[in-house]
Amino acid sequence: MTKSKNWWVVFKNAFQGVIYAFQTQRNFKIHLFLSFLVVFLAIWLDISKTEFLFLTLAIIFGLTVEMANTAFEKTVDLVIEKYHPQAKIAKDVSAGMMLIASFGLALMGLLILLPPLWQKLGF
């Protein structure tokens, strides 16, 4: 496979990767859905620009790690056609990376959104 020098083709291929992740990866869809909920909640709570920036970076990071996990797992599947314990470890570690990122990102979202949510709800 040769590398394209045409930026439009590079952009189109990258966009196809995002579409593939959306169409085939259940966790990517879940992450995207929750991301939209977080954005709407953040707007409703009128959080600061700095807090919104952190949430935006967290969303981008989470979606990126999810796609990296998918790319890694597909690469392992391409190289190893049948079960191999080392391939299982590689895929498990990749999934673990996403799990750790998800917990950290959820904690960040809660730390940013819970205080103004409690205040808005009168607690």
Does 66 carry a binding-site annotation?
yes
Q: Which domains are present in the chain?
A: 26-121 (1.10.287.3610)
Averaged over 113-119, what is the pLDDT? 96
Residues 69 and 95: beta-carbon distance below 8 Å: yes
- Residue pLDDT, tens place only, 1-54: 667 678 999 999 999 999 999 999 999 999 999 999 999 999 999 999 999 999
Burial 51-77 (b: 16+ CB within 10 A, else e): bbebbeebbeebbebbbebbebbeebe
- Residue pLDDT, tens place only, 41-56: 999 999 999 999 999 9
| pTM for this predicted structure | 0.88
- Residue pLDDT, tens place only, 84-110: 999 999 999 999 999 999 999 999 999
List active site positions.
66
Does 92 carry a binding-site annotation?
yes
- Residue pLDDT, tens place only, 67-88: 999 999 999 999 998 999 999 9
Nearest of 30, 98, 99 to residue 70 by alpha carbon? 98
2: which DSSP letter? P
> What local confidence, expressed as pLDDT, does residue 101 receive?
97
Does 73 carry a binding-site annotation?
yes
